[in-house]
Amino acid sequence: MDIYARILEARESLKTMDLPTKPVGVLLKELIDKKGMNIYSLSCSSGVSNAQIARILQNSITRPKFETMIALCIGLGLTYEESMMFFRDAGYYEFENRNLFHNDMVLYTMILKTPGLDLVHANILLILGMYELMDHENSISWMPSLLPSSSTAAYDISRKYPQVSSSSIQTLVELYEYSNSDVIRITLKKLEAIITEWENSNK
């Protein structure tokens, strides 16, 4: 898997965004119905709590955090095109040209363009993408948050893949700079093996 090539392709996609607006609660209800889901199933697949989803649907939360929106896209199993329409209609402007070189937008675009990605593997790909950018571009600014939060993501990855501890994942996310320390090097190798195996099983 050439993650850096995917990052470059994702950056190209950010050049063509065009964003009108529409209320997010209505859009989310339409998508939940379209995908044959409910609040509980979406909460399980997105990591966003039942209560938070309900508040979005009731318009108590009119502008969810950007990381929440990404997590909802993954939980709903949206294609890249469906995700972009969701953001466009909800009036989120983060995918504009001005953010072309913001690493968080590029990496989020990369995972949204990866078909069949669930939340655990999306977060693994985000971590690997961070280190690819550090290796290839020496870039540590505008790094993304894991979904829906770093602590939750680290726990979920470790629960699914016990060979990777949640503390080692937190170390990767918090350092934000490449290091040759054994913990970081070994953890990255394990995550690379996991995402490669996942991709091979989903071909």
The burial class, CB within 10 Å (0-12 / 13-18 / 19+), for 47 is buried
> CA-to-CA distance for 117 and 72, rounded, in angstroms?
12
Mean of the per-residue pLDDT values for the chain? 87
Which of 6-10, 36-40, 173-177, 180-184 is predicted most confidently?
36-40
Dump pLDDT digits (tens) for 61-83.
Answer: 988 998 999 999 999 999 999 99
User: Percent helix, strand, coil in the chain (nearest 5)?
Assistant: 65, 0, 35
Q: Given a cut of 80, is residue 126 above it in pLDDT? A: yes
Domains of the chain (ranges; CATH) run 3-10+102-201 (no CATH), 18-90 (1.10.260.40)
- Gap between the Cα atoms of 138 and 134, Å rounded: 4
Q: What are phi and psi of 105, to 5 degrees?
A: -65, -40
pLDDT in tens, 145-172: 899 888 789 999 999 999 999 988 888 8
CA torsion angle 90 130 117 120 (round to 10): -100
| Residue 10: band (very low, low, confident or very high) from pLDDT cuts 50, 70, 90 | confident
Average pLDDT of the segment spanning 79-90: 90
